[in-house]
Structure 1
């Protein structure tokens, strides 16, 4: 057998097509590769493109890949497959995909599918791989569909995967904002990227699991503030709905107090169009009360914070502190002597505390930088972390106010001025309080004015979002072959119908199994990479149990529900794709390593199957996996592993059960053992367990390890951190039923 390349007859521009010629026994096949070069740029000896050609590296890589795949197919295919016709079809499956992609620019995603459809817009924050994005594009209810405007994340590989999928492959005009949501200017850049477009739905999963009410200023995790910044986006964009996804444990953390705090923050988002009604009401209270109006004015000034962002908010905060500081300066000569006002450590503490509070913008930026450095240096469980946290505590506004309060206690002002001191301290407390706490603080004034009923009516009118209890969504209930539970908070703008739940599409008895999801990909061995589908013979592979295994395969609709007549298997849906023909101009799946290759179509590595590569393990690891697989459970296998000298310090191995759902997919591939082979899963297999279509290609580096996991987001991390698209689709579907 020989596989070679040669140049065919040149055209008028002296460009000659590169042909592949295969000779095997009596079979001879010639296939055009789809590439052309000048004769001067071709080296007949090496059968490669000379480096004089601007894209010689990309074309040579493609030719090498093509030759490798042909040889592999010849070595592994059954004799019946080695006919001239079948061999030509196989070679052309690679050639056509690359040629089709090279012939297409980024095309507009217009199709008959979208004609007459009512489009609602969405954006995806903390987008990661794009699980929410994918699910929302799959959703359709009657004539309603979603239009994708923008995604955002901080990682380069997230951006690369999004651009490759949505802009280059599907032809969408989607913006990607790669910026930390907590950075100053994020909101301005987001609004600029949207270019005046209205956003109907915002989805995303800001981390909340590190929240702690008790130790709010002790850990200083850089993720702690992301939830607050997510809500800032909601306040700015005022979408009809927003979806917030999180881990199940958030519901019971600190006996449910964290959940209540999240709900309180969501309910504190106010409608700026009606906010003046509340402010006018508070001004009227000032005319009706016999109490000091200083605190009432403080509440008015504090509530103005709700109307501003970024620079304007900083100015309002500074103005607030200056007003309180002015009261302190008027009070100082009444509670201490002139000499003490110049020398007292306690007076200096108060005075300097006000200066620190006035510089809240600078301290916030400093805090962010220190937390970033703390995270980058991996400071934890060492002698440095305490010092860093102590500094971060010292510049926190709440702590600064506590020190001011303590300083006043040491001054022991006379009873004559105690009420003034108490009022000043109360005003500082108002400065850091939440909107809901402000409403609680106003109640004595409301009660005095006998206006409680009016006050409640105003609050109901100005709250922008309605939200009841969050609910737990089990991914397996929506056709995902995985035991993955997530909490969903769905906020509904007051002019929209509430979404209280997302009904399951699959009953508990009809859930998709691991075998349904992965059986057709089980043609790969340890240390291999496959680029095309191969037939899996269940009878040969499972011998006496083949009927039992085959019985696990079910016909289903796209959402996982049973459809014995016209349905497809889960694996067939994965191959066909779940976008319902919406993108007829879509390119074939392709892979690039770096963002620099994205705009160079010659660099796109096109193949029918991508992300299907296994790691090469040494013999002792393979033997360990074999023992665990035979025992069916890591804990049950530990005694035998010790006896056979195969024990490991690894805490977790999960043996997949073919007739069940997989455990929650995480970011470390060797946490799982394939149900039929002593090996870890490929990226494509993990993506199947997450319900990603096979045409969704995870770009960039495949895996990483050690401390790099904190900074890099390779393919396995993209998959493990994603929202399962079929779960996202079910959420999007339910929103489409209610939105107007």
Structure 2
């Protein structure tokens, strides 16, 4: 396993794993993977490249399960006996069902079929009966919906899930977690649900108090400040103005460019973490967006008008001639706003462009040698069917968050709290 860690805590299954942010963090905290479930081929390619075949491998993948993209429904239908044989042998089920239907940023719909994936999650829990559960989702998972008639439903969907899991024999704890408190240079608030099988509880505990007590030690071990990491600290060494731009892909004249990255002599504490042990290795996914001249001019106007860290006002939108609901410029002195799957929601703090996939990955706390696979973006109707690189990174659990949750679960697992 990466970083020469010899300790092993317990084992886990990652459901809805995406490109692997949660698993990367759990692996760094000493957990061993059994298998992961991800339906999108591009996201699973990224996962497999890094966490099964690559440097960050910590999976003991079962021979009965092909190492490819799949769904929980497929597992339930095709491998019922194999899953049943895992009962009592898995310590943790991690992962949060896809959250688009719950997102406060989008159209929230209680009947969104993606919300039903929580049902499949619970079916897996029932069959495997792990000791612990950790479920991560957007804040909206814990907010009330309006139904198709526009009436507010009685309780948020998270409480439906909580009640179902309690019936399965788990004590459930919930709270919000702020990524920027754990070294992630991003204001990303997430709803966390932790389940402990009732037969393992011998005394009253509050996992979130234990988690809060781990924070300063976690930051100290990372050699990070106790104050949030700014977005400029995270990505300043990736600014295009500091490098020659070289060919990336497409036609030689009009194709995509990337920076010819050479690590500066002096890296700050966060950049050192992202580049630990890499020396002069270039990260992948440095492709710069190919903006039209008029788009660049529009972005320059936005940079001049927009208060960093705030969204464009309606007045500014009229001046610029955009109806886009969400667009803002990063504040270099603060953590980033929450990344989304749409790359043009956020503009660079000093350059008239959107961020590269690698800059987004830095903001999510992925190390520079974590390789992203697949297309960069997907347009039109394919957007809801495919998971290109920008979407993979935007949807990911920040690895630092996965790691600190892994450390909390270790405390619970070892009874050392």
Determine if the TM-score, normalized by the shorter chain, exceeds 0.5: yes
Distance 2:262 2:75 in 1: 48
Contact 2:83/2:128 (8 A) holds in 1: no
**Larger helix proportion, structure 1 or 2?**
1
For residue 181 of structure 2, the aligned residue among 466, 471, 477 is 477
Query: Could you tell me how far 1:533 is from its partner in structure 2?
Result: 2.4
Structure 2 Cα separation of the partners of residues 193 and 666 of structure 1: 37
Aligned to 2:385: 711
Q: Name the structure 1 match of 2:171.
A: 466
2:12 matched to 1:113?
no
**C-alpha contact 1:151 1:174 (8 A) present in aligned 2:** no
State the secondary structure of the residue aligned to 1:576.
coil
Partner SS state of residue 495, structure 1: helix
In the alignment, which of 689, 701, 712 is matched to residue 363 of structure 2? 689
Structure 1 residues 150 and 619: CA distance shift in structure 2, 3 A: same
Aligned residue in 2 for 1:660: 334
Change (3 A) 1:668 1:608: same
User: Matched residue of 1:150: which SS?
Assistant: strand
Q: Larger Rg: 1 or 2?
A: 1
Where in structure 2 are there 5+ consecutive unaligned residues? Answer: 62-66, 103-108, 145-152, 220-224, 246-255
Match of 1:535 among 254, 259, 264: 264
Match of 1:146 among 8, 31, 39: 31
Q: Which residue of 2 aligns with 1:156?
A: 41
Asked if 1:513 corresponds to 2:230, the answer is yes
1:574 matched residue in structure 2: 274
Q: Distance in 2 between matches of 1:624 and 1:259?
A: 41
Show CA shifts across 1:244-264 (max 9, x none).
111112223145443332221
Q: What's the TM-score once normalised by structure 1's chain length?
A: 0.46
What is the aligned partner in structure 1 of residue 347 from structure 2?
Answer: 673
1:554-580 CA-to-partner distances (Å, cap 9, x unmatched) read: xxxxxxxxxxxxxx6101100117xxx
Write the distance in 2 (CA, Å) between the matches of 1:533 and 1:190.
52
CA distance in 1, matches of 2:99, 2:384: 18
In structure 1, runs of 5+ residues without a counterpart are 1-108, 140-144, 212-217, 270-463, 538-552, 554-567, 578-587, 590-605
Instruction: Determine helix, strand or coil for the equivalent of 1:473.
Output: strand
Map of 2:294 onto structure 1 = 620
Work out whether residues 275 and 368 of structure 2, in 8 Å CA contact, stay in contact via their aligned partners in 1: yes
Partners of 2:182 and 2:401 within 8 A in 1: yes
Determine the C-alpha separation between the residues in 2 that align with 1:160 and 1:135: 18
Aligned to 2:82: 191
1: CA distance between counterparts of 2:139 and 2:3? 39
Q: Aligned equivalents of 1:110 and 1:726: distance in 2?
A: 15
Q: Is the 8 A contact 2:24 2:51 kept in 1?
A: no
- CA deviations 1:379-410 (Å, max 9, x no partner) are xxxxxxxxxxxxxxxxxxxxxxxxxxxxxxxx
Asked if structure 2 preserves the Cα contact closer than 8 Å seen for 1:245 and 1:489, the reply is yes
* 1:2-50 CA-partner distances (Å, limit 9, x unpaired): xxxxxxxxxxxxxxxxxxxxxxxxxxxxxxxxxxxxxxxxxxxxxxxxx
Q: Is the Cα contact below 8 Å between 1:135 and 1:727 reproduced in 2?
A: yes
Residue in 1 that maps onto 2:113: 222
- In the alignment, what sits opposite 1:245? 136
In 1, Cα distance between the equivalents of 2:262 and 2:80? Answer: 43
Residues 1:257 and 1:624: Cα distance change in structure 2 (over 3 Å): closer
Alignment of 1:180 onto 2:71: yes
2:136–2:192 contact (8 Å) kept in structure 1 = yes
In 1: Cα distance, 2:265 partner to 2:351 partner: 14
* Count of matched residue pairs: 367
Give 1:635 deviation, angstroms: 6.2
Greater relative contact order (CA < 8 Å, ≥ 6 in sequence): 2
Q: 1:260 aligns with which of 159, 178, 202?
A: 159
Residue aligned with 1:202, SS: strand
Q: Distance in 1 between matches of 2:52 and 2:84?
A: 15
CA–CA distance in structure 1, aligned partners of residues 180 and 199 of structure 2: 32
Distance 1:509 1:536 in 2: 24
Q: How does 1:600-619 map to 2 (within 5 A)?
A: 608-619=282-293
Aligned match of 1:368? none
Partner of 2:105: none
Deviation at 1:237, TM superposition (A): 1.1
Runs of 4+ in 1 over 6 A off after TM superposition: 193-197
Aligned-pair distance for 1:179? 2.0
1:223 Cα deviation from its structure 2 partner: 1.6
Q: CA deviation at 1:203?
A: 0.4
**CA, structure 1 residues 636+266, in 2 after alignment: closer, same or farther (shift >3 Å)?**
closer
Question: Residues 623 and 262 (structure 1 numbering): CA distance in 2 closer, same or farther, change over 3 Å?
Answer: same
Equivalent in the alignment of 2:248: none
Instruction: Within 5 Å, give how 1:14-413 maps onto structure 2.
Output: 109=1, 113-114=5-6, 117-139=7-29, 145-170=30-55, 171-175=57-61, 176=67, 178-183=69-74, 185-186=76-77, 188=79, 191=82, 198-207=89-98, 210=101, 220-253=111-144, 254=153, 256-269=155-168
Shift of 1:530: 3.1
- CA distance 1:111–1:161, shift in 2 (3 Å): closer
- In structure 2, C-alpha distance between the alignment counterparts of 1:190 and 1:152, rounded to whole Å: 17
1 CA distance for matches of 2:3 and 2:185? 31
Which digits, 9 at most, give the CA deviation of each residue in 1:500-545, with x for residues without a partner? 21216269971111111011111358852135325399xxxxxxxx
249-258 or 129-138, which deviates more: 249-258
Change (3 A) 1:190 1:208: farther
What secondary structure does 1:242 align onto?
strand
CA root-mean-square deviation: 3.2
Question: What CA deviation, in whole Å up to 9, does each residue of 1:82-128 have, x standing for no partner?
Answer: xxxxxxxxxxxxxxxxxxxxxxxxxxx599631xx343101110000
> Match for residue 282 of structure 1?
none
> Does residue 500 of structure 1 match 2:217?
no
| Conserved? CA contact 1:531–1:610, under 8 Å | no
Describe the shift of the 1:531–1:124 C-alpha distance in structure 2 as closer, same or farther (beyond 3 A).
farther
